[in-house]
Amino acid sequence: MSERDTPEWAMVTVMFVDIRGFTSFAHRSTAREAVDYLNEFFELAIPVLTRHGGHANKLLGDGLLGVFGAPEPAPDHADRALAAGAEMLEAIELQFGERLRVGIGINSGLVLVGTIGGGSLVELGVVGDPVNVAARVQDATRELRVPLLVTEATRCLLESAGGRLEPRGSLSLRGKPEPIPVHGLMLRNASGTPVA
């Protein structure tokens, strides 16, 4: 990761990933079992982001924030994020089966990117409304019962894989004057048949 001394606005795609049901799992597990479970997930998820040119910006307890298009610019950041999300879902299914489920929210937009912090805690920060929207879209994956949702802002930037998305309605988000259309990733089973 390159450090940005000069803050700048950048067009990026943001991915929020959250492990479903981790809190209840942690309550019935030892501390070692809970930490091992998280680390096993991160050992799978972070390399997937990296393979697609993404950056694991923050680990959020039982989830993570991934960024595509910063700190290194990538004109195809939306395609990279969707490909990473699809690969992550497939890899989780292969490695964990029913033991682990995630929700993934993906959104694109202009964010402030720069080195943020103080004292001994300084990190590359990604700040802006697109980050907040991605987090809320990830929250909606539970309600809509889909593992991955993409906003219309991201869908419009896709150069490929747009055919793998299906409309899932619009979300009314606090602070947004208009509902945000979202699209779910169509998943296929081993025989290639679409699954719900």
Its pTM stands at 0.91
CA dist., res. 19 & res. 16, Å (int): 10
Catalytic annotation, residues:
18-19, 62
Whether residue 192 is predicted with pLDDT greater than 80 in this model: the reply is: no
| Domains defined for the chain, CATH in brackets | 8-195 (3.30.70.1230)
162: burial class by Cβ within 10 Å (0-12, 13-18, 19+)? middle
Burial of 179 (0-12, 13-18, 19+ CB in 10 A): exposed
Q: What's the confidence (pLDDT) of residue 6?
A: 83
Q: Are 18 and 65 in contact (CB under 8 A)?
A: no
Confidence of residue 188 (pLDDT cuts 50, 70, 90): low
List, for residues 94-153, the tens digit of each pLDDT value: 999 989 999 999 999 999 999 988 889 888 889 999 999 999 999 999 999 999 999 999
5 pLDDT band, cuts 50/70/90, is low
pLDDT on residue 163? 67
CA distances from 29 to 34, 61, 97, 103 (A): 6, 16, 19, 22
Judged against a pLDDT cut of 70, whether residue 162 lies above it is answered with no
Q: Is the CB of residue 137 less than 8 Å from the CB of residue 18? A: no
Q: Which of 2-6, 23-27, 42-46 has the lowest mean pLDDT?
A: 2-6
